[in-house]
Amino acid sequence: MEDFLKDKFKGTLFGQAIGDALGLGTEFMTKAEVRKCYPDGLADYSQIVQDCHRGRWQKGDWTDDTDMMMCIVQTIINDGELRPLSVARNFKEWFRRGPMGIGRHICNVLSIGDYTEKPEVVAKKVWEMSGKKSAANGGVMRTSVIGLLGEDVEKHAADVCRLTHADPRCVGSCAIVSLMVHSLVYEDEILPIETLVEVGSRYDKWIEPYLRMAQEDSLDALELDDESTMGYTLKTMAAGLWSLYHCGSFEEGLLAVVNAGGDADTNGAVAGSLLGARFGYENIPVRFIEGLARKNVLDEKTESLFAVLCN
Ligand SMILES: [Mg+2]
């Protein structure tokens, strides 16, 4: 039983990191550009084109999405439980080190001086100043680890989202992804769409149509590569769920999502975590694991987190 749980646990965190690292290869590309750069499709870190965006990372390294997830992981290891203010402090410390690939909204929030004292208030103010329009995927990109907690998953997902993202679409998408991870890891069950619709209705009316799109046959319905909406939290949530509902393996699901372009590192991070939670670490192709630039760090932190949460 413990081995089964650990396999799912590792699958979630490695799936996230792998999806992030591979998705960088098509980040900000249209589907046509993806085809031009990778005529046979992107299927390995070694293929990643070294242009001025991607060349800043070592091939196989993850980006800000998984960096922020690791801030949460480290907090839980240190505190023995999830404490939102500790997470906010880790976010700020990470931000001070000048990370690459950080989104504009998160940058605006973490730049504010008294962020660590009242992160939620700061995040809400920044959102209000944006005209309450911003619903970026910076919360959902790091939420998979919350699904590994034993209890109060929805509340913790909402609390950690609100440390940077106040919009109810962001909070609802974090709740949905975290609850799905939890169900896959602890119950080995894919939550039915109607359950997710019910969760979403507690947050925002726009969540349901995206959940329905995640049920459509083709991923094209989500238009992931549309330039003006590619960082939208509901698109990222729906892309991850689409892969879970439609694909028979980790590899099939992840490659479908990253080869669709758009905000592909983030879409890949969410899809990868859900697929890893479903199929487990053992079913992730070895080349994806071995090629991860910071594989050893992730391995060590995953072991520590598992010891804290599951012993
Ligand atoms: Mg990123």
pLDDT of residue 139: 98
pLDDT of residue 108: 93
Predicted local confidence at residue 1, as pLDDT: 64
Residue 61: helix, strand or coil by DSSP? coil
Q: What is the number of alpha carbons within 13 Å of residue 227 lying toward its C-beta?
A: 4
- In order of their start, the domains of the chain are 2-310 (1.10.4080.10)
Spacing, Cα 161 to ligand 1 middle (Å)? 16
Distance from Cα 215 to the centre of ligand 1, integer Å: 26
Cα(230) to centroid(ligand 1), Å: 12
Cα(141)–Cα(204) distance, integer angstroms: 19
CA 224/CA 257 separation, integer angstroms: 9
Tell me the C-alpha distance between 275 and 269, whole Å.
10
**pLDDT score of 168:** 98
Distance 65 CA to ligand 1 centre (A): 5
Tally of CA atoms within 13 A in the half-sphere of 146 that contains its CB:
29
Centre of ligand 1 from the C-alpha of residue 102, in Å: 7
**What's the average pLDDT block by block, 10 residues per block, for the chain (311 residues)?**
91 98 98 97 98 96 98 98 98 94 91 95 95 94 98 98 98 98 98 98 98 97 95 98 98 98 98 98 98 98 97 79
Distance from residue 3's CA to the centre of ligand 1 (Å): 31
**Alpha helix (H) ranges present in the chain?**
2-23, 31-37, 64-79, 84-96, 104-111, 119-129, 153-162, 168-182, 193-201, 207-213, 233-246, 250-258, 264-279, 286-290, 295-310
Closest CA relative to residue 237, chosen from 169, 297, 150, 156:
169
Ligand 1 midpoint to CA 311 (Å):
32
Task: Give the Å distance between the CA of 124 and the centre of ligand 1.
Answer: 22
pTM: predicted TM-score of the whole model, two decimal places: 0.98
Please give the distance, rounded to the nearest whole angstrom, from the Cα atom of residue 269 to the centre of ligand 1: 9
The pLDDT of residue 2: 78
